[in-house]
Amino acid sequence: MIPVAFDYVRATSVDDAVRLLREHGDDAKLLAGGHSLIPMMKLRLATPATLIDISGIPQLNTVAVNGGRITIGALTTHAALAASDALRASAPVLWDAANQLGDPQVRNRGTIGGASAHGDPAADYPAALLALDATFTIAGAGGERQIGAGDFFRGMFETALASTDVLTAIAFDAAPASAYVKFHHPASHYAVVGAAAVLTMNGGTIGAARIALSGIGDAAFRAGSVESALTQVDTADSAAVRAACAGAAAGSEARSDTFASGAYRAAMADVFAARAVALAAGRTKTRR
Amino acid sequence: MNVDLTVNGETAVLDVEPRLLLVHALRDNLGLTGTHVGCDTSSCGACTVLLDGVSVKSCTVFAVQASGHVVTTIEGIGDADELHPMQEAFWSSHGLQCGYCTTGMIVSAVDLLQRNPDPSDDEIRAGLEGNLCRCTGYENIVTAVRAAGRAMRDGAARHSVRELMPLHGPTLEPPPSGEGIIPPQFQEAGR
Amino acid sequence: MAFTAMVGARIRRREDPRLITGRATYTDDVRLVGTVYAAFVRSPYAHAKIRSVDLGPALAHPAVVAAYSGHDLHHAHGLKTSLPVAHKMPDLLTPPHYLLAFDEVRVVGEAVAIVIAKTQYAARDAAELVEVAYDELPVVVDPLLAMVGPPYVHESLGTNVAFRMPLRAGDPDRAFAEADEIIKQRIVNQRLAPVPIEPRSMISSWDEGMQQLTLYSATQIPHLLRTQLSIVLGLPENHIRTIAPEVGGGFGAKLNVYAEEAVIGWASMQLERPVKYVETRSECFQAMIHGRDQVDDLEIACTKDGTITGLRLRIVGNLGAYHQLLTPVVPTLTLLMALGCYRIANLDAEVVGVFTNTMSTDAYRGAGRPEATFFIERAIDMVAQRLGLDPVEVRRKNFIASTSFPHTMPTGLTYDSGDYETTMDKALKIVDYAGLRARQAALRKEGRYLGIGLSTYVEVCGMGPSAAMAAGGWDSATIRIEPTGSITVLTGISPHGQGQETTFAQIVADELGVPIDHVSIIHGDTDKVQYGIGTFGSRGTAVGGAALKLAIETIQAKAITIAAHQWEANPDDLEYREGKIGVKGDPSKSMTTAEAGFLAFMGDHLPPGLEPGLDATRRFEPPNFVFPFGTHVCVVEVDARTGEVKVEKYLAVDDCGPLINPMIVEGQVHGGIAQGMAQALFEEVVYDERGQLITGTLMDYAIPHAEQLPHFQLDHTVTPTTVNPLGIKGVGEAGTIGSTPAVVNAVIDALAPFGVVHIDMPLRPEKLWSAMHGASNGVTR
């Protein structure tokens, strides 16, 4: 319940944050909403020597829709995303994830940047951001760089962020035919299985699909074989959708815990992938 | 380090360790013990307060993070002289038993109605997902939030405990009974 | 003032204003000047020798005030008295259970040292500095393995079996020889964590001048705690004051005298300053008692028409590493209620209590009876399934008839009153049972799996007759009519959410004719309240309320004597009518209780020989337990693709006798159902084979959230008891006891097309999904 003592500094800008990270070394951690980090600190599973509070940095908490491109500041709270009509219309997959993440208090305080940087394999955003093929903007010692979602989520609590990096924004193209569905862990609210689908539709038929899963293995991943199998599938044919989603977890070694075995997780990956596809496809229909 | 807080309308300057959790600052430094601690994993919601008007778990916020911000605890939601309609609704609907989760639950429910003034029962249950109660099975909590929503939409007046449950002075002539007077806006709160 | 009956009215609780405004004082809210804070050092191993404990680094921490190891307490300070276990079992093995472990630890989380510092943050930091060296020992967590150990949890005992209790009635061998069908089933009743939202908390202070120890603790039993502290600490009981302030839920888990309570009390004496300890939730999962954890092997003999003729039963109770206050008693309650509400004449049963390297099990809401109700209600459904009968008809065929009460069971208990069939029929009518079965059949054709489950439970509560209890089963009440007419009630029970500040005031208001707000109900402070046993076993109103009723009768009798003297009348001609003293057959004259109390205070107009003052203390010794009952009906749909259970409908028709405040009774039932449903679907404490607690936080152990529970529909019937003068039966545990089998029966019913007979709880989606996909592991078909 009581974290180990630490020093606390506030960063006034992204550059300042990068400077402070360099100054304080590997024992420093960024603090945004704190809803991934503070729970670990309270259990003393994380013991940073210094916290650099970036929550006061201006202009990192906006949702900008520019043509078909959506850019989200890293300090945007889950609640702000969950309440965003623009996001709901343009990328409901991420809106779904924001609405199903944690609980209202967590959503009010936690940020998309913090949650993404944490790299929790059972988190909701990684699947949605992989399916959106999002781009992460990172400020670091060598200046600013951009990295795709496929390269960002690397493993259990592991991302492409180096110790002096600050994630500043996440951007992606609009994807109105998209959805995220989740098998909630009854205690933790994390995803036992989270499935994200982003579809490009040709009438009632899937032209292209990006399917991503979280909760299953050490990191969220794209289900490539399902994506190809879904191409040309008529979404009105639910048996065909289910068949295409079979083996969704094949690319990952599914974890076991007291709630769900790896085999069950893998089976549920198929079920929830199909449900995400159905929900995403349905969203194109209602819009027409 | 110094922390400037505005809590329930009053400003406070505290000199604290950076690691001091907001819930401990409220309880131990400011004596506001209505905010409770029920877990160490940010799960139970007993510590819920409003930070700049929205619900947060005060066990998952460092006091230093709240510096310069506005905190409302259960004590600031309403007191015996001026009950918030949500407090009255919990009372009228028997939405509490041991009371330990109740203060955080009420704060969360206030936040819920700010976002959704007329929630369905399912929306109420989903909206209280961050708060655990072990006594009520949530049945009467849902009833209470529904009733409070109705009362608040109708612009209910705030009542005092003394008005609703009078405490009488010494007398040999019994005054009118203070039996379960339920304010009109909650009279349909039962099933 | 017109007389308005309070009893039976839906009156808002009088305890609520302080609770809803954050002005209540729980133990952690108690502020005493000079308080220091304790943290315990706990064992990371399930079984190990303690080689050494080095407190040095902790003592070097600048904020640390003191630190003690188990060795210090035992050897340097002579605290050698074992913690109490209350039982009446002559052959029970009772290994010592010291305040802090000093030679060996036997469960993860067992405290080995205490560190006390000026702040709680420093105490936590310093506790991590204590260096303890352990030598690991073999571990046993499975009670079936432990039964045939080694390894032994307590090596000196040479066995892990703490007791065996057989019970035989009728001619079970003949019943089985003549049976048309015999059904055998093992039923595991999984281990649960009580999880009151307020963890254990305590603050103790020592008054050196008065030589007085005051311990505030989140407890259900302040007086029993005082008695045990006196014994364990060797301090005269009249120098100890225990206070249960506002208590944030107990569910049986605070019906215990914990080692930490004694250590904190002792530490405040050593340091002559207040010491506070509030456990973390993680500590609570490790070191607060657990509930359930039985392996129940059943054999049921029945005839083709569904008559159950015999039951063979072996109950293996996993006791954990040590006896706590009631640890060995709990599984014996299972045995006593094994036959439920059924006429089963032939019984061959045994309870075996087994030590393992796990936290002690003890009373958790229902305490032994949920386990019994679970297996007998499952057994009824298994009989129905085997014979192709409707489970309703099997119940009807085996019910004890409403005309045969009081009814003595083969277990030796005498059920006070009951009408099981009426309650069941009411429930079936409300849910339209025939309609549900028709809908189930229709949905099955669409590949949807609806299940309908019943539980017709009876339970034993109102604990209880002293002869049948491990310690006194009575309770007490004092009523004082104060000179100004207000009424003070001191009750020996210790409510913590059950609402007796309201219901007891309702009773007093009616009987003594005062407005309810003139009545104060005081509880939970041993310096204010006469000895009482406390709140547990659904006894608060059934025993404590009965004592209150006796005290009312004494007050009324004296008030009548006073009025008779005043009116120069014969007391036999006077009576209490609508709360006032009047003359029989003459409505013109009346005197209020307050007026009689004022005369009693003035003292100069009393009959010769009558003592001044109007107060009374009475104790109620229950002549029997009470046996509430009811029918719960659960309707679920199981998602064939995921195995997830959706509870579509839940109805409880309970009978706890007359209702003093229906709103409060309903609240008790709601909460009880939630906990019972949670056992069926969600909750399970898991230790791995090395005795490590896997479900050690609220991120792993799933107590239900609002959206995981359905709406609960309630109704009731009213069958009074003659056991107490209020006619009421307890209701605190009925919901928990009744609901678990209803939910499981519904789920198994949904899975009947897959040939499923039984699956152990919790019914996690994966288990059901596996059962629907042909798995054999963990599924009885």
For residue range A64-113, list pLDDT tens digits in order. Answer: 999 899 999 999 999 999 999 999 999 999 999 999 999 999 999 999 99
According to the model, what pLDDT value does residue B169 have? 56
pLDDT at A55 over 70: yes
Q: In this prediction, what percent of chain B has a pLDDT beyond 70?
A: 86
For residue range C5-62, list pLDDT tens digits in order. Answer: 899 999 999 999 999 999 999 999 999 999 999 999 999 999 999 999 999 999 999 9
Nearest chain C residue to B172 by CA: give it: C485
In degrees, rounded to 5, the angle at the alpha carbon of residue C377 between the alpha carbons of residues C371 and C378 is 90
Residues C615 and C628 in one domain: no
According to the model, what pLDDT value does residue A25 have? 87
Residue A207 belongs to what H/E stretch?
strand A205-214
Task: Name the residue facing B94 among C13, C699, C709 (closest C-beta).
Answer: C13
According to the model, what pLDDT value does residue B165 have? 77
Residues C639 and C761 in one domain: yes
Reading the block at residue C355, the tokens are 């030590």
Q: Looking at the domain assignment, is residue C219 inside a domain?
A: yes
Q: Looking at the domain assignment, is residue C122 inside a domain?
A: yes
Residues C507 and C639 in one domain: no
Domain boundary, last residue among C620, C646, C675: C620
Averaged pLDDT for residues A276-283: 96
> Are β-strands C308-320 and C346-355 bridged in parallel, bridged antiparallel, or unpaired?
parallel
According to the model, what pLDDT value does residue A67 have? 87
What is the rounded CA–CA span in Å between residue A259 and residue B12?
Answer: 45
CB contact under 8 A, C248 and B99: yes
For residue range C150-200, list pLDDT tens digits in order. Answer: 999 999 999 999 999 999 999 999 999 999 999 999 999 999 999 999 999
Residues C126 and C269 in one domain: yes
Neighbours of chain C (3+ CB pairs under 8 A): A, B
Averaged pLDDT for residues B40-66: 98
For residue range C728-766, list pLDDT tens digits in order. Answer: 999 999 999 999 999 999 999 999 999 999 999 999 999
Top residue of C20, C285, C535, C669 to mutate, by most chain B CBs within 10 Å, is: C20
Residue B102 belongs to what H/E stretch?
helix B102-115
Averaged pLDDT for residues B49-77: 98
According to the model, what pLDDT value does residue B106 have? 98
The domain that contains C613 carries what CATH number? 3.30.365.10
Indicate the number of domains in chain C. Answer: 3
CB contact under 8 A, B129 and A189: yes
According to the model, what pLDDT value does residue A1 have? 92
Nearest to C533 by CA among C571, C567, C501, C493: C493
Reading the block at residue C612, the tokens are 């001044």
Q: Looking at the domain assignment, is residue C2 inside a domain?
A: no
- What is the CATH number that goes with domain B85-165? 1.10.150.120
Averaged pLDDT for residues C610-618: 98
Residues C244 and C267 in one domain: yes
Q: Which residue in the block uniquely carries the two structure tokens 């390894």?
A: C151
For residue range A102-152, list pLDDT tens digits in order. Answer: 999 999 999 999 999 999 999 999 999 999 999 999 999 899 999 999 999
Using a CB–CB cutoff of 8 Å, tell me whether C499 touches chain B.
yes
Q: Which residue in the block uniquely carries the two structure tokens 């678990």?
A: C740
Please tell me what DSSP assigns to residue A4.
Answer: P
On chain B, the residues whose CB falls within 8 A of the CB of C1 are: 174, 176-177
pLDDT at C429 over 50: yes
3 state DSSP class of A64: strand
Q: Looking at the domain assignment, is residue C448 inside a domain?
A: yes
Average pLDDT, chain C: 97
What is the rounded CA–CA span in Å between residue A171 and residue A100?
Answer: 20
What is the rounded CA–CA span in Å between residue C699 and residue C434?
Answer: 41
Residue C520 belongs to what H/E stretch?
strand C519-522
According to the model, what pLDDT value does residue C1 have? 40
According to the model, what pLDDT value does residue B188 have? 53
Tallying the residues shown for chain A, one arrives at 288
CB contact under 8 A, A264 and C682: no
CB contact under 8 A, B170 and C246: no
Average pLDDT, chain A: 95
For residue range C487-512, list pLDDT tens digits in order. Answer: 999 999 999 999 999 999 999 999 99
Q: Looking at the domain assignment, is residue C406 inside a domain?
A: yes
Where is pLDDT greater, at B171 or C302?
Answer: C302
On chain A, the residues whose CB falls within 8 A of the CB of C700 are: 187-188, 258
Domain boundary, last residue among C588, C620, C652: C620
Query: Per-residue DSSP letters for C125-155?
Result: HHHTT-EEEEEE------HHHHHTPSS-SSG
pLDDT at B174 over 50: no
The full set of domain ranges for chain B reads: 2-77, 85-165
According to the model, what pLDDT value does residue A251 have? 80
What is the rounded CA–CA span in Å between residue A33 and residue A73?
Answer: 13
Q: Looking at the domain assignment, is residue C87 inside a domain?
A: yes
- pLDDT band at residue C777 using 50, 70 and 90 as cut-offs: confident
Q: Please give the backbone phi and psi of residue C610, each rounded to the nearest 5 degrees, phi first.
A: -85, 130
User: Which class would CATH give B2-77?
Assistant: alpha beta
On chain C, the residues whose CB falls within 8 A of the CB of B179 are: 4, 6, 9, 11, 515-516
Using a CB–CB cutoff of 8 Å, tell me whether B37 touches chain A.
yes
Averaged pLDDT for residues A179-189: 97
Supply the angle between the helices C433-445 and C420-431 in degrees, to the nearest 10. 50
Using a CB–CB cutoff of 8 Å, tell me whether B78 touches chain A.
no
Q: In this prediction, what percent of chain A has a pLDDT beyond 90?
A: 95
According to the model, what pLDDT value does residue A285 have? 59
Asked if B51 and B61 count as a contact pair (C-beta separation under 8 A), the reply is: yes
pLDDT at B170 over 60: no
Reading the block at residue C668, the tokens are 């008790």
Asked if A285 and A252 count as a contact pair (C-beta separation under 8 A), the reply is: no
- pLDDT band at residue B182 using 50, 70 and 90 as cut-offs: low
Q: In this prediction, what percent of chain C has a pLDDT beyond 70?
A: 99
Residues C120 and C258 in one domain: yes
Q: Which residues pair with C714 in a beta bridge?
A: C652
CB contact under 8 A, A35 and B19: no
Q: Please give the backbone phi and psi of residue C58, each rounded to the nearest 5 degrees, phi first.
A: -70, -45
Nearest chain A residue to B54 by CA: give it: A108
Residues C598 and C637 in one domain: no
**Structural domain of C603:** 16-22+474-620
Averaged pLDDT for residues C689-711: 97
Residues C610 and C673 in one domain: no
User: Which residue type does A4 have?
Assistant: V
Nearest to B132 by CA among C596, C197, C44, A184: C197
For residue range B120-156, list pLDDT tens digits in order. Answer: 999 999 999 999 999 999 999 999 999 999 999 998 8
From the CA of A228, how many Å to the nearest CA of chain B?
Answer: 36
Asked if B46 and B38 count as a contact pair (C-beta separation under 8 A), the reply is: yes
According to the model, what pLDDT value does residue B14 have? 97
Structural domains in chain A plus CATH codes: 7-53 (3.30.43.10), 63-173 (3.30.465.10), 178-283 (3.30.390.50)
- pTM, 2 dp: 0.97
Asked if C319 and C354 count as a contact pair (C-beta separation under 8 A), the reply is: yes
Q: Which residues pair with C243 in a beta bridge?
A: C216, C525
What is the rounded CA–CA span in Å between residue C635 and residue C737?
Answer: 17
Query: Per-residue DSSP letters for C299-345?
Result: EEEE-TTS-EEEEEEEEEEEEESS--SSTTHHHHHHHHTTTTTB---
User: Which residue type does B161 have?
Assistant: V
Domain boundary, last residue among C264, C287, C310: C287
Nearest to B158 by CA among B105, B72, B89: B89
User: Which residue type does C675 have?
Assistant: Q
From the CA of B68, how many Å to the nearest CA of chain C?
Answer: 24
pLDDT at C137 over 90: yes
Residues C567 and C602 in one domain: yes
Q: Which residue in the block uniquely carries the two structure tokens 């009689």?
A: C596
On chain A, the residues whose CB falls within 8 A of the CB of C699 are: 187-188
pLDDT at C717 over 50: yes
CB contact under 8 A, B65 and A55: yes
According to the model, what pLDDT value does residue C471 have? 83
Distances (CA, A) of C547 to C487, C564, C619, C620, C623: 16, 26, 5, 5, 13
Q: Looking at the domain assignment, is residue C243 inside a domain?
A: yes
CB contact under 8 A, A43 and C282: yes
According to the model, what pLDDT value does residue B172 have? 42
According to the model, what pLDDT value does residue A220 have? 96
pLDDT at B171 over 80: no
According to the model, what pLDDT value does residue A284 have? 80
Residues C630 and C616 in one domain: no
CB contact under 8 A, B40 and A43: yes
CB contact under 8 A, B61 and A108: no
The phi-psi region of residue C330 (left if phi > 0; otherwise alpha if psi is between -120 and 50; otherwise beta) is alpha
Q: Please give the backbone phi and psi of residue C150, each rounded to the nearest 5 degrees, phi first.
A: -70, 170
Residues C121 and C76 in one domain: yes
CB contact under 8 A, A104 and B60: no
For chains A and C, what is the number of CB pairs under 8 angstroms?
Answer: 48
For chains A and B, what is the number of CB pairs under 8 angstroms?
Answer: 86
Nearest chain A residue to B124 by CA: give it: A104
Nearest chain C residue to B33 by CA: give it: C29
Q: Looking at the domain assignment, is residue C616 inside a domain?
A: yes
pLDDT at A288 over 50: no
What is the rounded CA–CA span in Å between residue C759 and residue B187?
Answer: 45
Q: Which residues pair with C453 in a beta bridge?
A: C634
What is the rounded CA–CA span in Å between residue B171 and residue C690?
Answer: 67
Nearest chain A residue to B63 by CA: give it: A8
Residues C439 and C486 in one domain: no
According to the model, what pLDDT value does residue B181 have? 60
Asked if C228 and C170 count as a contact pair (C-beta separation under 8 A), the reply is: no
CB contact under 8 A, A8 and B40: no
Top residue of B52, B55, B69 to mutate, by most chain A CBs within 10 Å, is: B55
pLDDT at C2 over 50: no
According to the model, what pLDDT value does residue C267 have? 98
- pLDDT band at residue B173 using 50, 70 and 90 as cut-offs: very low
In degrees, rounded to 5, the angle at the alpha carbon of residue C126 between the alpha carbons of residues C122 and C129 is 155
Top residue of A50, A81, A105 to mutate, by most chain B CBs within 10 Å, is: A105
